[in-house]
A and B are shown apart, each in its own frame.
Chain A
Amino acid sequence: MKKQILLFPMLILSLVFTGCSDDDDPAPVVELEVITTVVVTLTDTNNVEYEMRWEDPDYAVGNITAGYSGVTSIPEGFYSGEVQLYNNTLPIDDEEYVITNEILEPGEGGDIDHLFFYSGLGGLVLNSLAYEDSDVNGDPIGQQFSLVGVAGTGELSVMLVHEPEKDADGMPDDQWNGVGEDEVNLQFPLTISTQ
């Protein structure tokens, strides 16, 4: 009995502490839901496109201001707008590469759970901001929008809210009531000049 008792733990010890090394390197995480690229396109009445971009290929936090590029100045007037979101960490043919597709998908988790907000900050004045699309419930999404730009300098704020309360009082026309999570919270530097 004595021998058995002492042998037993040794046996277990040897079983436990061998054969558990040399695993393969763990795979890198393919980051989902990551928005690395935001492209806002404003088209004027003459079909001239103005493109504003924000990019963060490393998806590194703390690096947001360096990400803005593209147009920083547009003339006064009416514009129809569109926003596209991408996840550059995925290959181009991945179905989640174009995030906008996912957002526009009808139903829960898609169009009814997303809402964009736009506003002019600083000296930037945007008139007649309007949503130009709607989800399966007839509520706006905001991936398509329109505005009238008035001369001034400031920032174009683009927000995407996940799981908003689209039918709450005052929503979405006044401002966000705070329910939901920001997915995009960007401010594009922009000057609108008199023609």
Chain B
Amino acid sequence: MRIYALVVLLLAQLTTASQNCTHTLSGKVIDLHDGSLLSGATLVVAETETVVQTSLDGVYSISNLCPNTSYSIKVLHSSCEPKTFSVKILGDSVRDFKLEHHLEELNEIILEGKAYENKTTTVVEKNINQETLEQFSAGTLGDALNSLSGVSSLNKGNGIVKPIINGLHSSRIIMINNGVRMQDQEWGKEHAPNIDVNSVGRLTLVKSASALQYGGDAMGGIIIAEGLKTAVKDSLYGKTIGTAASNGRGGGVTSQLTKSFKNGWYSTVQGTLKRFGDVESANYILSNTGLMEKDLSFRLGLNRFDYGLEGYYSYYNTTIGILRSAHAANASSQIRAINSNEPLIIRNFTYDIGYPNRDVKHHLARIKGFKNFESLGKVNFQYDYQKNKRFEYDIRRGNDRDTPALDLELNTHTVLLDVKKAYDALELKYGIMGRFQTNFANPDTGIRRLIPDYDKYDYGVYVIGDYKINDKWQVESGIRYDYSFIDAFKYYKNSVWIERGYDILFPDIVVNELSTQLLTNPKLEFNNLSATLGFNYNISEKSSLFFNQSMASRAPNPSELFSDGLHHAIARIELGDLRFKSEIGHKTDLTYRFESERFNFSVNPFHNLIQDFILIEPTGLTETIRGNFQVWEYRQTEVQLFGVDIDASYNLNKALKFTHQLSLVKGYERGNNLPLINMPPVNTKNQISYSNQKLNNLKLSLESEYVFAQNEYPDNNFEVYIPVLETTETLDISTPPNAYHLLKLNGSMDFKVSKTTSLKVGLEITNLLNSSYRSYLNLLRYYADDLGRNFLLNLKLNY
């Protein structure tokens, strides 16, 4: 809180005594984020060593200033980054100073002492601010994350976008939404995070497991979505964003309204609606790719100096059509689809979402509170409840046409108790977590359960210490222990039970024997340890070095443990293994960062060694009445991933800026050195942007994204005999598509509508050249091209 002590007077200049030094400089000190006035800010005039403070309403006045003189005025506030302004005095003048206001924000009252604080101090975090998020208003959270270096996405079409961090995804990533760890069946490759991008105020990416307060199993990293900020003052404000897109002939509307009071009460209501029809590739319509999304969130809280309470509820509902021609029945229909240049089914454009489709609803309710104690520090408590309902509709026959093929309900309760206390240079965080989760797989689908019914109990405890040795060195260290217990009820077919050897390994878990199947009750326990150790070193004012070594442990997820049959959505048989142990990852993360006014640069090499890594690979073909299916089996092995992410930006002048990003990741299985599947290919983004604040805050940018072909991939191809044709053909599911290059043009302008209302008009064109391309990381790449050109008109009204 008290950083007054940090006042350093950098410049001292003698002023000539002969001048008539009677002028006054006055004005306000304003919070840059929400325009609120900052009281109690200190202004230090370096040249005269004058010190003044702002009044309760943020007003200051400095007198006895000399004309025609430049002064350096350092502005300090207990909760802000200090900032020095240069002011030339010609006469009595008025000037407002704006500061980055960080501390004492309202909505981060639980895990954070201030809004948007660092989640870890020895790994460089990457952030996406609200302005950038707003550009993705009609898209997905995954699309927004994709704009960061080191992040790519695993897509199923354009509506299901799942982030990949440094080559890892799904259960190896933790998603935190408003302090709540998302429990939305994230294990599945085609299950995207159930978060409305418009409900997020800021996104933070931590590319390691080092933020142990969130969990110990983030082998790939942690994505933290934080809410929108509210200030302690009487106000009512809001915004509405409308987006219209040519591709998909749809758009979205999102609105948000916040009411806050000086006494600390605040509330925010926010909602989003999106509707798209079939999208188009460069040359044809992608039939059944429509999307409908309905989201709502509500927040009510009270924030006082030493205690606070907040309730938050969000609802997310999306219905996403899956490309009709991607529904492969078996291996030979996959061959037909892959060998055909165009999708086998191309229909007229429609807004209707037919089968197959995914319908997901996610409820999240959370209450949290904090209290500051003199002795104990800041104590935070949180309880959250999540309900995830997932329907997957497939192409089915007759009376079952409208019955979902998958009907899962996942309920999760979590309690968190965290304590944070600062002792001079040491900041200590510790806490406990308890979680109960229950999964219900509805048997009325008439299709064997892919994920069985289970109850899962998790308990965690952690402690993290952060020690500032001096101005240059800071060290961070933490340890976490997690215990998981899974109590599942799982039906196995007799034939699978014997074929897997479970009849010998687990005879005791059989609870009921039916004619063709067995009911078993696997009870599995996992003890996981995770830890982090790192430092950051300020080499100079402009450059710094960050080093972090973290260990993450992840218990196998239900699909890795229990899968034992046909996964209709991807037409293959998947076999899990009850004997799996936890994965243990060791990630080394190093960042060198250089920051100056004109040039910013960071290079971030990493290495990730994972023991008992669970991968799935094809092991053969099996015959069924519906034709041949590939069999994919999960297996544990040791793998290593390494790579580098590079970010650079250069301000050519005040208006023109050039930015560059490069991400490279390689993954191999150790021992046999075989490449891992679905590793993001090398990609680079280069952008030139122009901005002119005077011309209605005009912004223009042109971005080029070049994605190389992935040249390292496992050979999972099959020779398939097709009886009807009496031939053997190759099922090529391995060869990655060619490299591609996409251009994106973006422009925006601000207009003042009234005193309190402003309008931002934005136009964006993605895939400017209407290239036809396929991405290695799109699960639909076998069947159709990716999205063609898209014009997006974006209107944002602030009021």
Contacts and interface: CB of A to CB of B under 8 A. Distances in A.
A110 to B, nearest CB: 7
Nearest to B370: A5
A16 B413 contact: yes
Given A159-B724, A162-B397, A26 B626 contact: no
B453 interface: yes
A60 B519 contact: no
Interface in B231-272: none
Contacts of A155: 723
A181 interface: yes
A187 interface: yes
Nearest to A177: B344
Interface stretch (B42-50, B64-72, B325-333): B325-333
Contacts of A183: 329, 397, 625-626
A183 B345 CA distance: 18
Contacts of A105: 398
B16 to A, nearest CB: 59
B438 interface: yes
A182 interface: yes
Interface string A10-27: 001100110011010111
A157 B415 contact: no
A65 B381 contact: no
Contact of B623 (A33, A38, A64): A64
Interface stretch (B399-407, B652-660, B663-671, B712-720): B399-407
Interface in A140-170: 155, 157, 159, 162-163
A3 to B, nearest CB: 11
Contact of B519 (A25, A89, A178, A186): A25
Given A31-B446, A184-B626, A1 B400 contact: no
Nearest to A184: B625
Interface stretch (B19-27, B313-321, B508-516): B508-516
Nearest to A89: B516
A111 B629 CA distance: 27
A61 B726 CA distance: 22
B455 A96 contact: no
A30 to B, nearest CB: 6
A32 B396 CA distance: 10
A97 interface: no
B443 interface: yes
Contact of A16 (B340, B436, B514): B436
A185 interface: yes
Interface string B491-517: 101111000000000000001101011
A26 B441 contact: yes
Consensus secondary structure, chain A interface: loop
Nearest to B516: A58
A14 B336 CA distance: 56
A164 B395 CA distance: 12
Most chain B Cβ neighbours within 10 Å, of A1, A26, A175 = A26
Contact of A157 (B344, B514, B519, B723): B723
Contacts of A33: 396-398, 400, 446-447
B307 interface: yes
A63 interface: yes
Given A5-B371, A13-B415, A61-B565, A187 B517 contact: no
Most chain B Cβ neighbours within 10 Å, of A33, A35, A102, A105 = A33
B381 A9 contact: yes
Q: How large is the interface on B (under 10, 10 to 19, 20 to 34, 35 or more residues)?
A: 35 or more
Interface residues of A, number: 66
A18 to B, nearest CB: 10
A91 interface: no
Contacts of B565: 61
A190 B491 CA distance: 38
A109 B626 CA distance: 18
B357 to A, nearest CB: 15
B627 interface: yes
Contacts of B330: 181-182, 185
Given A20-B438, A25-B512, A26-B489, A32 B566 contact: no
Contacts of B627: 182, 185
A58 B491 contact: no
A178 B627 CA distance: 14
B491 A121 contact: no
B187 to A, nearest CB: 20
Given A60-B493, A159-B724, A186 B512 contact: no
A155 B447 CA distance: 31
A58 B625 contact: no
A70 interface: no
A48 interface: no
Contacts of A185: 330, 332, 625-627, 723-724
Given A62-B622, A179-B344, A181-B327, A29 B398 contact: no
A28 B723 contact: no
Contacts of B673: none
Interface in A76-103: 89, 96, 99, 102-103
Interface string A115-129: 001010110000000
Contacts of A179: 344-345
Nearest to A54: B625
B494 A58 contact: yes
Interface in B295-333: 307, 327-330, 332-333
A154 to B, nearest CB: 9
Nearest to B327: A181
A44 interface: no
B216 interface: no
Interface of B: 307, 327-330, 332-333, 336-337, 340, 344-345, 369, 371, 373, 379, 381, 383, 395-401, 403, 413, 415, 417, 434, 436, 438, 441, 443, 445-449, 452-453, 455, 457, 487, 489, 491, 493-496, 511-512, 514, 516-517, 519, 565-566, 573, 622-627, 629, 723-724, 726
20 contacts: A5-B369, A16-B436, A21-B487, A25-B512, A25-B519, A29-B443, A32-B399, A32-B446, A60-B493, A89-B516, A96-B399, A102-B397, A103-B397, A110-B398, A155-B723, A178-B337, A179-B345, A180-B329, A182-B332, A185-B332
Given A12-B415, A29-B445, A109-B399, 4 more contacts: A17-B434, A58-B516, A61-B573, A182-B627
Please list the 6 inter-chain residue pairs (A to B) with the smallest Cβ-Cβ separation, ordered nearest first: A32-B446, A181-B329, A102-B398, A62-B622, A64-B623, A60-B495
Interface of A: 1-2, 5-6, 8-9, 12-13, 16-17, 20-21, 23, 25-33, 35, 38, 54, 56-65, 89, 96, 99, 102-103, 105, 109-110, 113, 117, 119, 121-122, 155, 157, 159, 162-163, 175-187
